[in-house]
Amino acid sequence: MTINRQKIEENNRVVLKENERIDDLQRNHYRIIQDPERFCFGMDAVLLSGFAKAKEGDNVLDLGTGTGIIPILMEAKTRATHFTGLEIQSESADMAARSVKLNHLEEKIEIVTGDIKEAVSLFGAASFDVVTCNPPYMTEHHGLTNPKAPKAIARHELLCTLEDVISQAARLLKPGGNFYLVHRPFRLADIIVLLRQYKMEPKRMKMVYPFINKEPNMVLIEANRGGRARMSVEKPLIVYREPGVYTDEIYDIYGY
């Protein structure tokens, strides 16, 4: 749902830039600023925010936060003490920071502009209880007419690789901390190998299917730094009951 631009600006003193809009997140009356010309969050980010767990006292980091959707939704869904979103694209980081301000969450969420590959240098090793990431999925660069475009950076491994994400997450987590990732099933073998390479043991996995009779198109994974070898595979999540109609579980995750 798109919110009236003038009313929001007057009430919250948050300035919208060209092409930007404000969308209702259906949680705690929270809203988010987005620019369709750059990149808008998708269902994968929403599902990750529902799959990830954080308890009271936890310090949470979201790698490649984009417009800040995951920290904002997790602030609404969990009792974690503080959230940080790291984003390399300054325009997206600026949008995320203004969304934080729009929702009066400055004391709970901080947006930092920086490179995932330098996250440990920015924050220090073993600084977080929980790390989340909705990374670029695609490894190949062919077909990209503009590799510097925001949407290309969000979708393709142009500025960081899966190994960059997992290696940094492993060092950023405290011993026993949890890493939450959403990705594509075709990368599952790579994900498991890299998690174990960096001493993060996969503990939970959930496959996401668009329809009950289709192949999965997303996978949600929880890994524990230094955990013992045992993983549970949760019941699958079906997105649509029929074309255009979500299942009850999806409506619950979205908060409708």
CA dihedral 119, 164, 76, 28 (to 10 degrees): 100
Query: What is the CB neighbour count within 10 angstroms for residue 215?
Result: 10
Query: Closest by alpha carbon to 104, among 29, 52, 49?
Result: 29
Asked whether residue 53 is domain-assigned, the answer is yes
pLDDT (0 to 100) of residue 155: 58
Is the Cβ–Cβ distance between 222 and 242 less than 8 Å? no
DSSP annotation string for 208-241: EESSTTS---EEEEEEEET--S--EEPPPEE-EE
Q: How many helices (H) and strands (E) does the chain have?
A: 9, 13
pLDDT (0 to 100) of residue 50: 95
pLDDT (0 to 100) of residue 39: 81
What's the pTM?
0.90
Asked whether residue 197 is domain-assigned, the answer is yes
pLDDT (0 to 100) of residue 120: 97
Asked whether residue 17 is domain-assigned, the answer is no
> Residue 202: in which H helix or E strand, if any?
strand 200-209
Asked whether residue 36 is domain-assigned, the answer is no
Give me the number of domains the chain comprises: 1
Per-position pLDDT tens, the chain of length 256: 444 444 444 445 788 999 999 999 989 999 999 998 888 899 999 999 999 999 999 999 999 999 999 999 999 999 999 999 999 999 999 999 999 999 999 999 999 999 999 999 999 999 999 999 999 755 665 555 555 555 544 554 456 899 999 999 999 999 999 999 999 999 999 999 999 999 999 999 999 999 999 999 999 999 999 999 999 999 999 999 999 999 999 999 988 6
**Tokens of residue 197, six digits:** 């390479």
SS3 190: helix
Asked whether residue 116 is domain-assigned, the answer is yes
Cα gap 123→145, rounded to integer Å: 34
Asked whether residue 27 is domain-assigned, the answer is no
pLDDT (0 to 100) of residue 7: 45
Q: Exposure of 224 by Cβ count < 10 A (0-12 exposed, 13-18 middle, 19+ buried)?
A: buried
Query: What is the CB neighbour count within 10 angstroms for residue 138?
Result: 15
Between strands 128-133 and 59-63, the pairing is parallel
Domain of residue 173: give its range: 41-254
Q: What residue type is assigned to position 239 of the chain?
A: V
Is the Cβ–Cβ distance between 101 and 14 less than 8 Å? yes
**Tokens of residue 18, six digits:** 């060209």
Beta strands in 100-172 (DSSP E): 109-113, 128-133
Asked whether residue 11 is domain-assigned, the answer is no
Is the Cβ–Cβ distance between 219 and 208 less than 8 Å? yes
Asked whether residue 30 is domain-assigned, the answer is no
- CATH of residue 150's domain is 3.40.50.150
Q: What is the largest CA-CA distance in the chain?
A: 53
